[in-house]
Amino acid sequence: MQSAHQPNAPLHCPRCAYLLAGTESDAASRGDPRGTCPECGLDVAWAELRDTRGDPPWFAESRNARRPLAWRACATALRTMRPFRFWSAVTMQIPLRPRAIAVYLLVVAAAAHAVAVTGRTWMNIERRQQWYSTTPTVADHAWAALMPASIVWGESIWSWTTRRNEGPDDRWTTRTVATAVALAECACTMGFDENDMGKFTGAGGFQARGRAPRLLDPAAAARLASAAVVPLAAPALVLLLPFSMRRARVRPVHLLRATLYSTALLPPLLAIAVWGTHHGHRFMLGAPTLRGRLEPHIVTLAAIALASVWMTAICTRYLRLPNAIGVAAACTAIAGLLSLGAAATHFGVL
Ligand SMILES: [Zn+2]
């Protein structure tokens, strides 16, 4: 645990790591509570640099934390929804803590998973509306209530497992056990694949295998993959701009942090990708009108819109760059072009 005050440690510029000891003693002789880094021009308040109590207590990497890390990781993920507040509270003097970031990434992954499961459940509800008007069985109703995201119906699993276990040396107990095991496995994996479903055991019974279906349609996954390039590449592009390299001298570790927290943009983009793929006609490929040509890239366009706000918050509030809005716009635009290129390569149109 680090102490709240480090009165004697030599101070470094949080943005460029330049040693500020001389600057601080000059400022102290003048009685000035603030100073400017002679290397990168960052305006610093000496008290803030020395005090770790200014770390937001909800932040995953906070040095001023009282709550458990899992709680803070969830709070951090929620607060990314307000990017300007988020990047004002998170400061460059907070050291990177890989373990805290790993837990934060798990929270984001769980949120993305929840989005995908919700999408599949919603599609099932629409499919089932049609199907309920015919003859749903008790098994179907029970299965739909128990596993709303399952891609197979209860009756299919039931009839398939019982049918496959019937035979000349069939025993009632073997069949029941095999069916129960199949249902339990399908409950765990949400899915069931008739083509790759198990093997006959030597005893004449059938050993069923549940199988996790692909939660995302390949088209939704491809759209998300190309759109994700925008938030994940934009922070790193700051490093490539000659301006930020020569004048602001941003340490790459800050851009690494910005990239890692940019994963917060992926669950909303996934939601758009799932929605767009489900309503596939909305994103018709190859339509001759301008709207038709843009539609396949709707997830990328949403990513550019979200990332431009997100990057502006990073450049103005976190990196505190001069000309921050221009840097944010340039990085988002380049990342957007990379993403559109990736999407065009995949879908064959631009
Ligand atoms: Zn500096």
Tens-digit pLDDT profile for residues 175-226: 677 667 766 766 666 555 544 444 444 444 444 444 555 677 777 888 888 8
Is 251 part of a structural domain of the chain? yes
CA 259 – ligand 1 centroid, Å = 21
Q: Which of 174, 208, 242 is the last residue of a domain?
A: 208
* 228 closest CA partner among 150, 306, 318, 170: 306
Spans in the chain with pLDDT lower than 50:
1-4, 194-210, 281, 285-286
The Cβ of residue 326 has, within 10 Å, a number of other Cβ atoms equal to: 13
pLDDT of residue 197: 46
**Amino acid type, 38:** P
Ligand 1 centroid – CA 16 distance (Å): 4
**pLDDT confidence of residue 183:** 67
Q: What's the confidence (pLDDT) of residue 112?
A: 92
Say how many domains are in the chain.
3
21 CB neighbour count, 10 Å cutoff: 11
Answer yes or no: is 295 within a domain: yes
Asked if residue 196 and residue 221 are part of one domain, the reply reads no
Q: Tell me whether residue 101 is in a domain.
A: no
Q: Phi-psi bin for 275: left (phi > 0), alpha (psi -120 to 50), beta? A: alpha
Q: What pLDDT shows up at residue 229?
A: 94
Give 248 Cα–ligand 1 centroid separation in angstroms.
7
Residue span of the structural domain in which 161 resides: 137-208
* Residue where one domain finishes, among candidates 151, 184, 208: 208
Residue 14 Cα to ligand 1 middle (Å): 7
Domain match, 220 and 342 both = yes
- Using alpha carbons, select from 272, 260, 270 the residue that is nearest to residue 113: 270
Same structural domain, 184 and 306: no
Distance CA 79, CA 343 (A): 30
Distance 246 CA to ligand 1 centre (A): 11
Q: Report which DSSP code applies to 209.
A: -
Q: How far apart are CA 217 and CA 219, in angstroms?
A: 5
Q: How far is the CA of 15 from the centre of ligand 1 (A)?
A: 5
What H or E segment, with its residue span, contains residue 43? strand 43-45
Which tokens belong to 109? Answer: 């992954």
- Considering the domain architecture, whether residues 227 and 331 belong to the same structural domain is answered as yes
User: Given this model, what pLDDT does residue 2 score?
Assistant: 43
**What is this structure's pTM?**
0.80
Residue 80 domain flag = no
E strands within 91-161? none
Query: Is the domain of 330 the same as that of 255?
Result: yes
Q: Give CA 22 to chain center in angstroms.
A: 43
From ligand 1's centre to the CA of 218, what distance in Å?
Answer: 46
